[in-house]
Structure 1
Amino acid sequence: MSKFFAGLLLTAALLLACPASLALAGPPARIATPISAAAASAPSPTAAAAASAPSPTAAASPTHAPAQPTAAVPPSTATPSGKPTASVPPSAVPDAELFDVKREQVIRLIPADSRLRQEADRWLSAASGKAGELAFEPHKGIGLRIALVPPAVVDRDWYRGPVRELFLFAEDAKGPHRLLFFDDDSRMHLIVLPYDLTAFLRDYRIAVAGSEQAE
């Protein structure tokens, strides 16, 4: 297996092994007050002087405590159970990576918009089952790495569970192709995809054997 391909799969497996790295929909961590309690309680010389000096309007206006600043709360949406969950801005989903298998390099980034997500869902729905290869190493064609946020949920004979990141490997337009993903236990799943990618390759201007862009 080439170093590029092995490194690509290793990176995906490591990301799934670290749930914190995949919590794209979670709210940002709240940071403690950036000053110590001692520093906050100790008055500065200028503050003490200002406090002892009478204000010209102090006698004319009622005494009141200054308003305390409040921490900003990240935007959230309510779930059917009533518990708020942070919304996922489009910028939180990384771009899909299109790579040339033969050249072993990423050749383009594709925005991970709703249209691409719908296409990935269709691939998972059209997949026919696990591939019979004991070892898989593509030698030509294209690969596409797509982050699925939120995860796709698959309930098929060949797999039941979430898919958080999906790889598509296509040597030509007609197929069959291969889908590859890792489950939450970092086990690799290689799936057969009998699917005509002609329209997809045309819409995204991706050249592969048998596609209109390659002619």
Structure 2
Amino acid sequence: MKILMCIWMVVLLLSASYNPVSAADGAEAFDIQKGEVVKIIPHSAKLQSEVEKWLAAIEGPVGSMNIEPDSGIAIKIELAPPLKINNPWLKGTVTQVVLFVSQSDTYTPKLLIFTQENNTLAMTLKYDLHTFFIRNNLYHPQLNLSMPN
């Protein structure tokens, strides 16, 4: 029950902004400590392709109940069109993802996945995010972009 409460809080926090962003507008980069959207990343074929690579790089379910870090960045991306995924961890149509990256050395990137089939999955991600963060002016050396071992 606690995990569902945490997930709902994250979704509500990411959705609560003065100007809601649709998939056509882009992705929201949310500073977890500040509690505010700090950047909108325009939706593009390149962004959609990047998320597809993330989904191909999932390593398995998150091992802990708390997936949201205390500090860092959460990036909410609505997919348009949704992506059909069929891999060992996920079979379905992904409509939205939230990428969590922390400043903590012990927290590795996590991907919260929402599907058209009403499934919500929290997955570990083994993917080099440096280029994505640099290209979108979100890179900060304090962020732990390390891949899990």
TM-score by length of 1: 0.53
| 1:82-137 superposed Cα distances (whole Å, 9 cap, x missing partner) | xxxxxxxxx97231101101111111111011111111111111111111112323
Q: Larger helix proportion, structure 1 or 2?
A: 1
Q: What is the percent sequence identity of the aligned residues?
A: 29
Q: 1:129 is matched by which residue type in structure 2?
A: G
* Structure 1 equivalent of residue 31 of structure 2: 100
In the TM superposition, residue 187 of structure 1 has moved relative to its aligned partner by 3.1
TM-score norm. by structure 2 comes to: 0.74
| Alignment match, 1:115 | 46
Letter in 2 for 1:200: F
Task: Note if 1:181 corresponds to 2:79.
Answer: no
Amino acid in the other structure paired with 2:46: R
Provide the residue aligned with 1:165 in structure 2. Answer: 96
Q: Provide the residue aligned with 1:149 in structure 2.
A: 80
Aligned residue type for 2:26 = D
Q: 1:204 aligns with which of 136, 139, 144?
A: 136
After superposition, residues 9-28 of structure 1 pair within 5 angstroms as 9-10=11-12
Q: Quote how far apart the aligned CAs of 1:162 are.
A: 0.6
> For the aligned residues, what is the CA RMSD?
3.0
Q: Are 1:191 and 2:144 matched, yes or no?
A: no
Matches within 5 A, 1:5-154: 6-10=8-12, 93-154=24-85
Alpha-carbon shift at residue 210 of structure 1 (Å):
4.6
In the alignment, is the contact (CA less than 8 A) between 2:31 and 2:74 conserved in 1? yes
Structure 2 counterpart of 1:97, one-letter code: E
Give the superposition deviation at 1:4.
Answer: 10
Larger radius of gyration: 1
Q: Which residue of structure 2 aligns with residue 88 of structure 1? A: none
Q: Structure 1 unaligned runs (5+)?
A: 14-90
Give the partner amino acid of 2:133: L
Higher strand share: 2
Work out which structure has the larger RCO, using CA pairs closer than 8 Å and 6 or more positions apart in sequence: 2
Could you tell me whether the CA contact under 8 Å between 1:93 and 1:149 is conserved in 2? Answer: yes
What is the total number of aligned residue pairs between the two structures?
132
Structure 2 CA distance for partners of 1:197 and 1:142, relative to 1, 3 Å: same
Gaps of 5+ in 2: 16-21, 144-149
Check the 8 A contact 1:146/1:166 in 2, yes or no: yes
- The amino acid across from 2:11 in the alignment is L
Whether the 8 Å CA contact 1:162–1:183 is kept in 2: the answer is yes
CA contact (8 A) 1:101 1:139 kept: yes
